[in-house]
Amino acid sequence: IGGASAQGILVKGGNYLELLAKTETVVFDKTGTLTQGVFEVSSLNPAPGVTEHDLLEAAALAERHSGHPIAQSLRRALGADIDPSRVTDVREIPGHGVSALADGKRVLAGNEKLMKREGVRPLPCGAAGTIVHVAREGRYLGCAVISDQLKPTAPAAVKALKAQGIRTVMLTGDSEAVGRAVAGQLGLDEVHAQLLPADKVERLEALLERKSEKGVLAYVGDGVNDAPVLSRADVGIAMGAMGSDAAIEAADVVLMDDDPAKLGRAMEIARKCMRIVRENIVFALGVKALFLILGARGDVSMWGAVFADVGVAVIAIINATRMLKTK
């Protein structure tokens, strides 16, 4: 645990280190875990008769009080300060989007499910990215396409896990097109998209049923919505720098610098630790068994008995300190 902590990998107990060594499936959240979580508006697609500025302003107003990276990107793109008094009665709809009164008019900003739920017919955007549909007073205004970039170390992280024989899966609330595009870039084995927080738990339950009897499933996430899934997985791994407090609290392992490449390293450390544990057990029991037999025959001195007791413990401790020198 000390050797892992020195590399920014916080393990909350020895039992989780042991489970990490047995991991056969790693399930990822997408935003903030495999991607940087830094969103930018890449295109605006207003409906007929609507200007780009009107579309963007309506979206930014609806997202005025949200701290989500997508909401922040919309406000940055508008490039103007929004008077908070213009926005009232804000309602966040988990897994769908947000509803708010902007200048006294009801504005909706969210995914396609939100539009259909509110009786608004969205138009296809035809672009890869996170799509935010916007409507005002029941009229569809258009959509904004927001893009996120992969973390530089994400491809190497997935490659390292697959080299260890670990299956990689991604669960995301984004569209099928975005999910498959990211999975293709990273070489993931499986992807499930358009999932609500409750859907992620259900999908994880299905993945848990598919693993082998002694295999371990680890989930990696960073957001508030990931907390239930982190708790349900055999091992929950949270991003510590940008991750929410709820995710960090629910996780068993925390990557303090949000680097997904540390995942493979954490599992290498866990496997090395278990090798040393087995070495020490076999060595200690073997030496003690030998000296018990020699002692019963009267062929061992007091100094031999001291070595079998104290000497073996000292050698085992010295062997264990190898973990502190992990590069």
Is 29 among the residues known to form the active site?
yes
How many helices (DSSP H) and strands (DSSP E) are in the chain? Answer: 13, 13
Contacts of residue 79, defined as CB under 8 A and 6 or more positions apart, other chains included, come to none
93 forms beta bridges with 97
Q: Tell me the CB-side half-sphere exposure of residue 55, using CA atoms within 13 A.
A: 21
Amino acid at 91: R
Alpha helix ranges (H) inside the chain: 2-5, 14-20, 52-62, 69-78, 112-117, 154-163, 176-186, 197-210, 227-232, 245-250, 261-297, 302-306, 312-320
Residues 6+ apart with CB under 8 A from 231: 250
Q: How far is CA 182 from CA 65, 90, 151, 161, 302, in A?
A: 29, 32, 11, 17, 66
- Terminal C-alpha separation, the chain: 14
Among 29, 222, 234, 259, the one annotated catalytic: 29
- C-beta of residue 105 within 8 angstroms of C-beta of residue 123: no
Q: Write down the residue that tokens 């996170």 correspond to.
A: 130
Q: Which residues contact 105 (CB under 8 A, 6 or more apart)?
A: 136, 137
Catalytic center residues = 29
